[in-house]
């Protein structure tokens, strides 16, 4: 199979027929063998019924339905588990991502050898105040922190080699940082393609400031995981040892002054309390490193137990 298209969705009943028809036309025009995996992330409208009807007319369609809303990362992660195509395309269901970009994305992965190709919505049709300006700031800071030179980390339109999606796991709001996760897993050939962005025709945007703030917290998390996820003791143990040594040295200096030079009022000096704080915090950080080593393989992973149906 050439291509697997994963479409996570939440309450997108109106847009699904047009999206499926558009994808099918592009695939047939380019003679691609393909599958479309719709992942219904707990929709409360008729999205799942629509997916079932579309499948009755197109056996290339597969579906996963969650019993409740788990989020886009969980939807993509479950889709990654079942896809079979050599190249995996992810796109949003709101028709703002153009399926006409699929052949170009496929070529960059299958022929040019990229592990990941991320779409770049260079010209956007979103609200500048609500989304464009925060998005630019978010992308700038993500580039600075991760060293990956992409302009639009949050673009839903991306292409992956199958091997990439089978060797990563995402949870929380980590779908924004799949390139970062993939690079940490050894898939470092990451490219970018300018893609056409369209105005939303149906429904409402799922973007909000709460997602924006959660995204930054996840950026800190993924930066830590990518650098110290397999060796947290290197961070916590190093900081703990440094702070302990600083506090210990200050304590030794104050003790020598008291007994060798007859200095008085040792416990009235601010340095004495700084020494105690550094020693206590240093020990705590060191112990945190040990605990992190024990739980690093399982902490923070979101498990999906609510898959209701598959097609």
- Taking only the tens place, the pLDDT of each residue in 135-158 is 778 788 888 888 888 989 889 999
For residues 303 and 254, the answer to whether their CB atoms sit within 8 Å is no
Please give the pLDDT value at position 203.
Answer: 62
Q: Quote the tokens at residue 292.
A: 């992190």
Residue 35: how many other CB atoms lie within 10 Å = 21
Angle at 63 (CA atoms; ends 62, 67), nearest 5 degrees: 165
Return the number of other C-beta atoms located less than 10 Å from residue 91's C-beta.
27
Judged against a pLDDT cut of 70, whether residue 296 lies above it is answered with no
Q: How confident is the model at residue 301 (pLDDT cuts 50, 70, 90)?
A: low
Structure tokens at 184: 């940490």
The pLDDT, as a whole number, for residue 10 is: 95
- Average pLDDT on 10-22 reads 95
What is the mean predicted confidence (pLDDT) over 160-184? Answer: 89
Q: What is the pLDDT of residue 249?
A: 93
Q: Which of 70-74, 120-124, 197-201 has the lowest mean pLDDT?
A: 197-201
The backbone region for 52, taken as left when phi is positive above 0, alpha when psi lies in -120 to 50, beta otherwise, is alpha
List CB contacts of 151: < 8 A, sequence separation 6 or more.
120, 122, 139, 192
Beta bridge partners of 3: 34, 87
- Asked whether residue 207 carries a pLDDT value surpassing 60, the answer given is no
Q: What is the pLDDT of residue 282?
A: 92
Edge to edge, what strands does the sheet with 307-310 contain?
190-194, 116-120, 158-161, 87-90, 3-9, 34-40, 61-66, 307-310
Residue 271 confidence (pLDDT): 84
Q: What is the CA angle 61-65-67, rounded to 5?
A: 175
List pLDDT tens digits, range 238-255. Answer: 899 999 999 999 988 888
Q: Residue 117: its pLDDT value, please? A: 97
CA angle 293, 299, 300 (to 5 degrees): 145
pLDDT at 283 over 90: yes
Is residue 23 within 8 Å of residue 5, measured between CB atoms? yes
In this predicted structure, what is the pLDDT of residue 260? 75
| 158, 90 contact by CB (below 8 A) | yes
Burial class of residue 297 (count of CB atoms within 10 Å of its CB; 0-12, 13-18, 19+): exposed
Region 171-189: what's the mean pLDDT?
87
Q: Cβ distance 220 to 141 under 8 Å?
A: no
Could you tell me what percentage of the chain is helix, strand and coil, using 3-state DSSP and rounding each to the nearest 5? 50, 15, 35
Round to whole Å and give the CA distance between 268 and 212.
47
Place 227 in a pLDDT band, splitting at 50, 70 and 90. confident
What pLDDT score was predicted for residue 99?
Answer: 96
Bigger pLDDT: 139 or 182?
182
80 touches 21 (CB < 8 A): no
* Average of per-residue pLDDT across 89-95: 94
pLDDT value at residue 113: 94
At residue 297, the pLDDT reads 56
Q: Are 173 and 215 in contact (CB under 8 A)?
A: yes
Average pLDDT value for the chain: 86
- Rounded to an integer, what distance in angstroms lies between the CA atom of residue 8 and that of residue 75? 6
Do 34 and 24 touch, CB atoms closer than 8 A? no
How many residues are listed for the chain in this entry? 311
Tokens at 18, concatenated: 């047009």
Q: Assess whether pLDDT exceeds 90 at residue 60.
A: yes
Q: Which residue has the higher pLDDT, 192 or 123?
A: 192
User: What percent of the chain has a predicted confidence (pLDDT) above 70?
Assistant: 85
Instruction: Give the model's pLDDT for residue 257.
Output: 80
């Amino acid at each position: 199979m050439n291509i697997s298209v994963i479409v996570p969705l939440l309450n997108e009943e109106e847009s699904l027929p047009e999206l499926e028809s558009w994808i099918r036309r592009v695939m047939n025009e380019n003679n691609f063998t393909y599958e479309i995996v719709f992942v219904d992330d707990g929709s409360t409208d008729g999205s799942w019924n629509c997916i079932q009807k579309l499948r009755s007319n197109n056996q290339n369609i597969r579906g996963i339905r969650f019993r409740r809303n788990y989020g886009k990362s969980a939807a993509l992660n479950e889709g990654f588990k079942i896809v079979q195509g050599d190249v995996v395309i992810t796109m949003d269901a709101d028709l703002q991502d153009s399926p006409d970009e699929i052949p170009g994305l496929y070529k960059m992965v299958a022929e040019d050898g990229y592990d990941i190709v991320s779409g770049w919505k260079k010209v956007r049709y979103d609200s500048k105040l609500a989304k464009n300006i925060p998005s630019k700031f978010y992308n700038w800071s993500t580039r600075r922190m991760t060293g990956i030179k992409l302009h639009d980390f949050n673009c839903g339109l991306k292409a992956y080699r199958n091997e990439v999606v089978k060797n990563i796991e995402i949870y929380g709001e980590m779908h924004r940082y799949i390139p970062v996760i993939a690079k940490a897993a050894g898939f470092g050939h990451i490219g970018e393609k300018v893609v056409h962005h369209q105005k939303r025709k149906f429904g409402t945007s799922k973007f909000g400031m709460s997602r924006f703030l959660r995204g930054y917290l996840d950026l800190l998390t993924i930066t830590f995981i990518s650098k110290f996820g397999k060796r947290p003791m290197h961070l916590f143990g190093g900081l703990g040892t440094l702070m302990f040594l600083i506090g210990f040295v200050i304590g030794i200096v104050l003790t020598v002054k008291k007994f060798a030079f007859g200095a008085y009022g040792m416990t009235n000096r601010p340095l004495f309390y700084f020494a105690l704080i550094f020693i206590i915090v240093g020990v705590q950080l060191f112990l945190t490193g040990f605990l992190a080593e024990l739980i690093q393989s399982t902490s923070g992973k979101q498990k999906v137990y609510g898959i209701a149906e598959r097609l």
